[in-house]
Amino acid sequence: MYKENSILTAQHIYFIFPILGSVCGAMLWLNYFIKIDILQQERIRDITIALFIGFLTPDLALWIYKLHASYAWDFNGDFMHDLFYSIFGIGLTEEITKLIGVLLALFILRKRLTEPINYLIYGGIVALGFAIRENYIYYYNYGSQIMTGRTLISSLIHIINTSICIYGIYRLKIFNKGTFWINAITGVSIAVISHGLFDFFLTQQFIGHLTPFLATGIYLIGINFWIQMMNNCINFSPFFNYEKLISTTKMYQTILGWYGGLLLIEFIYTWYFKSFEMACYESFFNLFKEGLLLVIVALRVSRLKLSKRKYFKIKLQLPIYITKNNDEDFNLLGILPLKVRGENEKEIQFFKYMEKIILVCPLKLEDSKIRINRNGRLIKKYFLKHDVVTYLFELEEDEFHHKELFILKPKTFGITYYNEKYPIAGLYSYDEKNNLTDSSNPLSYKDLKLIELVFIKDVTLQK
């Protein structure tokens, strides 16, 4: 496809693609960090400093790897030896290297650490700088057709594990939980082991071609682990604002958009150096291989459990699960209701009605139990068992009715808006003997009794 007498030779062009892929991949996650930090955004200058420090950290890692080589310490095919090397040779080397870079960045930017999430954002950006260098080497050595996979998986693995280290080190300072040394050692140990196991499962074949699926499991659990940490930091922000945070549910668009850009670069690369047919084949193959993972990741990193000053325990969970609580995102084959963890757009949108008078309207007036449109207000949000999102709702007193308390549960599947404008919710009754604030024994969705479906309007907008 190229001409020998052109200004740019094939070698020059081959050199350009790894640069494009590394930059585009970095922009995917940089844009994510900028959008998730909506409460008080960081300066571009500070982000650049953290990224530059991270870009330099692989030099220290390479020096340590040369030290390994001088002692002939590397993979040798023995199961236990390779497992040990994956954790303490690769995992420990790279996590400590990145951690040194993060601590340096946090020291330089210490006056900019005005909210808890700053620690994880700057830590993640340093890790991203490390990943840029690493990705460039892989693209140059193995071809740029691996861009989407490394950006979606390898770069995020670096961000996740570095964040675990930082969360452990600063957990006492931010949340006043645990003790410094136990938190720090636990955080760094989890990150090192997670990194080592991920690499081990990718490079070894001890259960044949199924081994990489174990790495995928580490990756998916890590994503959920990371978002839970980010979630707690946002909940404890001194600038916490429900209405600002509503926009975070749209972040999946950023992930999908930049992924599409990477896919286009891969397509052009393969078309240029191979053929148009091969470019089409590899693009469809990558989408088939990564498509489901992409959707799960894009949705999970866009979802939080927002509750001011609420600390949620970090749990080892997959980011998607089977739900029986009528709050699914997908219903596979009509028999398998699946939900991605965190609050989706339909659940979180009710924040804009908090502390406002709203009008509750029966969806089917002829079968209605409340019979007429009534004013009310959302008092507080509650997470029931299995993270079911609900709102305590009070119907106002009028000449025909007393004040009444109900539970509103946003409808998340099927038709979720009335006239494509007003959100639909289930109106539920509950036994008031149950304590909604008891987080150790939360109310279950099964304890609720559906009265009817309603849609809600903001009364202030009707005037």
Instruction: Determine the average pLDDT of the residues in 192-214.
Output: 89
pLDDT score at 5: 47
Contacts of 283 (CB under 8 A, 6+ apart): 263, 266, 267, 270
pLDDT score at 461: 58
Q: What's the Cα-to-Cα distance from 31 to each of 48, 56, 403, 463, rounded to whole Å?
A: 13, 21, 46, 39
Contacts of 128 (CB under 8 A, 6+ apart): 26, 29, 30, 51, 54, 155, 158, 159
Q: Can you state the angle between helices 276-300 and 211-235, rounded to 10 degrees?
A: 40
Q: What percent of the chain has pLDDT over 90?
A: 62
**Can you tell me the distance from the alpha carbon of 98 to that of 159, in angstroms, rounded to the nearest whole number?**
10
Q: How far is CA 177 from the centre of its chain?
A: 23
User: Which band of pLDDT confidence, cut at 50, 70 and 90, is reported for residue 166?
Assistant: very high
Mean pLDDT of the chain: 90
User: Which band of pLDDT confidence, cut at 50, 70 and 90, is reported for residue 353?
Assistant: confident
Least confident range of 201-205, 234-238, 262-266: 201-205
| 43-59 pLDDT tens trace | 999 999 999 999 999 99
Instruction: Determine the average pLDDT of the residues in 388-410.
Output: 84
- The pair of structure tokens assigned to 94 is 């790279």
Strongest mean pLDDT among 134-143, 173-182, 239-248? 173-182
pLDDT score at 14: 80
Environment class of residue 327 by beta-carbon count within 10 Å: exposed (0-12), middle (13-18) or buried (19+)? Answer: buried
355 vs 134, which has greater pLDDT?
A: 134
Give the N- to C-terminal CA distance of the chain in Å, as an integer. 65
Least confident range of 10-19, 90-99, 125-134: 10-19
| 7-25 pLDDT tens trace | 667 777 788 888 999 999 9
**Can you tell me the distance from the alpha carbon of 348 to that of 85, in angstroms, rounded to the nearest whole number?**
44
Could you tell me which of 22, 245, 252, 32 has the C-alpha nearest to residue 120? 32
Structure letter (DSSP) for residue 354: B
Contacts of 377 (CB under 8 A, 6+ apart): 355, 356, 357, 358, 393, 394, 396
| 207-259 pLDDT tens trace | 777 888 999 999 999 999 999 999 999 999 999 988 888 888 889 999 999 99
The H or E element that residue 47 is part of is helix 44-70
Backbone phi, then psi, for 320, in 5-degree steps? -130, 145
Q: Is 86 left (phi over 0), alpha (psi -120 to 50) or beta?
A: alpha
pLDDT score at 2: 45
Residue 274 reports pLDDT greater than 80: yes
> The sheet that has 320-322: what strands, in order across it?
320-322, 336-340, 330-332
pTM for the predicted model, two decimal places: 0.91
Contacts of 158 (CB under 8 A, 6+ apart): 94, 98, 127, 128, 130, 131, 134
